[in-house]
């Protein structure tokens, strides 16, 4: 597997298909061992968390475990108070 210094950033919205996002997460993990997902808004965060759980099942079936650390941040310049979340995902161990 190749490792890059900066993980690819995938973006999720409230209408994102969680299974398709899970496939994208898994495929990126197989290639680079890390990926980040950015979501803005509650629905997008929900879809992202579901996708990470599904991706964990996909990678677990091939003997890989994934790790996630969630970072929240306020978005500057928006009228409404919106929160952005970034989900760095990596494969730290082999089962």
Average the pLDDT over 72-91 and give the result: 72
Total-model pTM: 0.81
CB hemisphere CA count around 19 (13 angstroms):
0
Across 6-10, 24-28, 88-92, least confident range: 88-92
Per-residue pLDDT at 74: 73
Determine the distance from the C-alpha atom of residue 8 to the mean position of all C-alpha atoms in its chain, rounded to a whole number: 10
């Amino acid at each position: 597997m190749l490792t890059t210094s900066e993980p690819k950033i995938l973006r999720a919205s409230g209408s994102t298909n969680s299974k398709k996002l899970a496939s994208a997460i898994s495929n990126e993990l197989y290639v680079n061992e890390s990926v980040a997902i950015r979501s803005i808004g509650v629905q997008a965060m929900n879809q992202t968390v579901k996708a990470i759980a599904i991706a964990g099942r996909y990678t677990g079936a091939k003997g890989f475990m994934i790790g996630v650390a969630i970072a929240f941040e306020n978005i500057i310049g928006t009228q409404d108070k919106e929160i952005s979340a970034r989900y760095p995902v990596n494969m730290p161990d082999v089962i």
